[in-house]
Amino acid sequence: MTEQIVKTILKQSDERVALSVDNLHHKYNKGKSNEVYVLKGIDFEISAGEMVAIMGPSGCGKTTLLNIIGGLDYATRGSITIDNHIIGEMDDSELTKFRRDNIGYIFQLFNLFVRGLWRFYPHLSDALV
């Protein structure tokens, strides 16, 4: 990824670093003939209270970056630290508890969930459309 995809929108923060991404790399199909290097050496910090936007063209690694930060995927190399917790050093149980207590995630296609609810709650179909 050659572009900067993390952009500060609003900075009203204390000086405490809430999120640190250090030399983050990610490959899909590692070691195979169709290996794809998605993230290459991403570095940034976000202070507590700072608001940022992740922006870039389709396929540049935005969702991959967020999945790794959120503990849904693993980095090939590098580290993610959230409030002094190193994500890559957590086992599955610790990561599950950390995500439950500290991470909020709204998926890209969340609106599909509501549209499909009518199948399970037909009496609400008029309210959901």
17 domain-assigned: yes
50 domain-assigned: yes
Domain of 29 in residue numbering reads as 6-128
> Within 13 Å and on the Cβ side, how many CA atoms surround 122?
1
61 domain-assigned: yes
1 domain-assigned: no
Q: What is the pLDDT along the chain (129 residues), one digit of tens a residue?
A: 434 555 554 455 457 889 999 999 999 998 899 999 999 999 999 988 888 888 889 889 999 999 999 998 999 999 999 999 999 999 999 999 999 999 887 766 555 555 555 566 665 555 544
What tokens were used for 56? 């870039």
Q: Is the dihedral of CA 31, 37, 41, 45 positive or negative?
A: negative
85 domain-assigned: yes
CATH code for the domain in which residue 12 is found: 3.40.50.300
114 domain-assigned: yes
Q: Is the dihedral of CA 69, 73, 75, 79 positive or negative?
A: positive
14 domain-assigned: yes
Q: How many domains are there within the chain?
A: 1
Q: What per-residue confidence (pLDDT) applies to 128?
A: 47
CA distance 27 to 64: 10
Instruction: Extract long-range pairs of 38-44: CB within 8 Å, 24+ residues apart.
Output: 38/1, 38/64, 39/1, 39/64, 39/65, 39/68, 39/75, 40/1, 41/78, 42/1, 42/78, 44/6, 44/20
76 domain-assigned: yes
User: What is the 3-state composition of the chain as percent helix, strand, coil, each rounded to the nearest 5?
Assistant: 30, 30, 40
